[in-house]
């Protein structure tokens, strides 16, 4: 892990122009390693995200005996060991800052019949895990946790898991994916019903590896005892990473930016829908399908934005993009209101409170609520904000400088490498006035 004292300094002004391809989708990169490791045969991945989160997943499977070559410029070759070929690791698996790794692997390892301990960094060790360990216990899993229901998690061997029909109280792709992965090792059928649509990368990728999944009207089911067959995966650009540039080019006058090969999964496109409701000029070019995932190029040009009441049905479709959407709201005319987003309070940081604190420090009228925020658009001033080690907070405030009246200093930015390696370099290359240094 890089020094936690990394600081971004973003000077005011600039515009975003040119062409950019953002790093590969983190969600798909994680899942490619997990399913490729359990498949029969050799899986070849291109466009893999070489970030700390997905590398944590890759190292964990190496530690369980899987031979994985790369990553080399986004290319990874996974020599699968089959559904029951993993070996117990010699030491706890350190998943760093990656909540996706921990929650999905909790399900995947619950029925492997071996002892495994999952640990993470300070931030991950505070994140709630009962949302996966409780339903897994109903399936027969034996998973120990800290008193608060957090990591470290001790996964104990059990004879068998049994399928369940689980109705999720809160929409979460990680919980859904965790239970479906556990369901592959369970007797009978496992079904998960979600209260609102969430990303469906797990269901799509399972189908790509030849494992039958039945999905209909917010409900996904599979039967235990199947097999995975190796396949090739081309990872599209991560729309969560593209979101920073969609907002940046929207708010910076004179911007005209082309984002290439961006994943356009319909369970992830809330950021585009919300920005368009605010008046953003985003054009979808050359829509196509790559490896079962929709992909397109996005052209975004600066446009005047207006405050809106964000539709609650869009919240699960944009849950990771709200930090930078709050920057768009701060640059919009009028008031933006977000409700139904209490999930933001248990991400890498309490994203509602941390973003509100940062916006207020820059002179923006931002009032947090239990499940959202109210932002009055206006001028963004200068100042110092603390990202609290949250990569998306750090990148969001970098984009705010495009419309700021003075310099914005962002502290605690090392974790940007978890999802977006070379962010500062790529942002500066298209016109952002940001530099990085050790504080």
The predicted model gives 23-27 an average pLDDT of 92
pLDDT of residue 399: 98
Instruction: Choose the CATH number for 26-234 among 1.10.1040.10, 3.65.10.10, 3.40.50.620, 3.40.50.300.
Output: 3.65.10.10
Residue 133, pLDDT score = 97
Mean of all residue pLDDT scores within the chain? 95
Burial label, 47 (beta-carbon count in 10 A; 0-12, 13-18, 19+):
buried
The predicted-structure confidence for 397-425, as pLDDT tens digits, reads as follows 999 999 999 999 999 999 998 889 899 99
109 to each of 10, 178, 200, 326, how far by Cα in Å?
43, 10, 20, 37
Residue 4 pLDDT > 80, yes or no? Answer: no
Q: Name every residue whose Cβ is closer than 8 Å to that of residue 13 and which is 6 or more positions away in sequence.
A: 401, 402, 433
Contact 368, 391 (CB under 8 A): no
pLDDT at 325 over 80: yes
243: Cα within 13 Å, side-chain hemisphere: 33
For residue range 55-114, what is the model confidence (pLDDT) as tens digits?
999 999 999 999 999 999 999 999 999 999 999 999 999 999 999 999 999 999 999 999
Nearest to 377 by CA among 327, 338, 339: 327
Fold match, 6-24+236-438 / 26-234? yes
**Model pTM score:** 0.87
**Answer CATH for 6-24+236-438 from 3.65.10.10, 3.30.420.40, 3.90.950.10, 3.30.465.10:** 3.65.10.10
Q: Which residues are catalytic?
A: 320
Give yes or no for a contact between 68 and 76, defined as CB atoms under 8 angstroms apart. yes
d(CA 351, CA 338): 13
Q: What is residue 2's predicted lDDT score, i.e. its pLDDT?
A: 41
The answer to whether residues 233 and 41 touch, using CB atoms and an 8 Å cutoff, is: no
Q: Which pLDDT band, with edges at 50, 70 and 90, does 3 fall under?
A: very low
Given a cut of 70, whether residue 434 has pLDDT beyond it is yes
Handedness of CA 312, 316, 321, 322 (dihedral sign): positive
| Tokens linked to 69 | 């070559």
The tens digit of pLDDT for each residue in 29-64 reads: 999 999 999 999 999 999 999 999 999 999 999 999
Q: Where are the domains of the chain?
A: 6-24+236-438, 26-234
Output the pLDDT for position 190.
Answer: 98
Q: What is the per-residue pLDDT across 119-134, written as a single tens digit (0 to 9) for each?
A: 999 989 999 999 999 9
The residue with tokens 């934005």 is 305
What's the pLDDT tens digit per position in 179-198? 999 999 999 999 999 998 88
Q: What are phi and psi of 203, to 5 degrees?
A: -60, -45
Mean pLDDT of 277-306: 95
pLDDT tens-digit readout, 365-381: 999 999 999 999 999 99
Q: Which residue has the tokens 């008031």?
A: 335
User: According to the model, what pLDDT value does residue 439 have?
Assistant: 64
How much is the pLDDT for 5?
A: 86
pLDDT tops 60 at residue 295: yes
Q: What is the pLDDT of residues 212-261, one digit of tens each?
A: 999 998 999 999 999 999 999 999 999 999 999 999 999 999 999 999 99
């Amino acid at each position: 892990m890089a020094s936690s004292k990394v600081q971004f300094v973003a000077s005011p002004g600039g515009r975003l122009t040119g062409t950019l391809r953002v790093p590969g989708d983190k969600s798909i990169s994680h899942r490619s390693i997990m399913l490729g490791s359990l498949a029969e045969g050799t899986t070849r991945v291109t466009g893999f995200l070489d970030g700390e989160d997905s590398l944590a997943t890759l190292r964990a499977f190496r530690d369980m005996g899987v031979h994985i070559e790369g990553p080399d410029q986004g290319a990874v070759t996974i020599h699968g060991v089959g559904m029951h070929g993993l070996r117990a690791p010699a030491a706890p698996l350190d998943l760093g800052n990656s909540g996706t790794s921990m929650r999905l692997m909790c399900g995947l390892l619950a029925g492997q019949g071996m002892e495994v301990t999952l640990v993470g960094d300070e931030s991950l060790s505070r994140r709630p895990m009962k949302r996966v360990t409780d339903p897994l216990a109903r399936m027969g899993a034996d998973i120990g946790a800290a008193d608060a229901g957090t990591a470290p998690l001790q996964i104990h061997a059990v004879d068998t898991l049994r399928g369940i029909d689980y109705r999720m109280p809160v929409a979460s792709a990680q919980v859904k994916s965790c239970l479906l992965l556990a369901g592959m090792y369970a007797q009978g059928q496992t079904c998960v019903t979600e209260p609102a649509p969430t990303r469906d990368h797990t269901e799509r990728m399972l189908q790509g590896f030849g494992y039958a999944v039945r999905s209909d009207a917010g409900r996904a089911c599979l039967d235990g005892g199947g097999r995975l067959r190796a396949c090739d995966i081309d990872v599209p650009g991560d729309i969560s990473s593209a979101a920073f540039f969609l907002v940046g080019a929207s708010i910076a006058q004179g911007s005209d930016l082309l984002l290439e090969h961006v994943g356009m999964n319909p369970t992830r496109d809330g950021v585009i829908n919300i920005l368009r409701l605010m008046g953003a000029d985003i054009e979808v070019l050359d829509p196509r399908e790559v490896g079962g995932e929709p992909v397109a190029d996005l052209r975004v040009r600066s446009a005047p934005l207006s405050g809106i009441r964000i539709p609650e049905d869009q919240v699960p479709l944009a849950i990771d993009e709200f930090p930078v959407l709050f920057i768009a709201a701060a640059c919009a005319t009028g008031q933006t209101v977000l409700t139904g987003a209490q999930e933001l309070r248990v991400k890498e940081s309490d994203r509602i409170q941390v973003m509100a604190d940062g916006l207020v420090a820059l002179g923006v009228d931002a009032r947090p609520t239990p499940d959202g925020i109210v932002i009055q658009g206006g001028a963004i001033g200068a100042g110092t904000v603390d990202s609290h080690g949250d990569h998306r907070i750090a990148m969001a405030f970098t984009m705010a400088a495009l419309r700021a009246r003075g310099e914005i200093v962002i502290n605690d930015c090392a974790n940007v490498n978890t999802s977006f390696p070379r962010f500062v370099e790529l942002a500066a290359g298209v016109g952002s006035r940001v530099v990085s240094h050790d504080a």
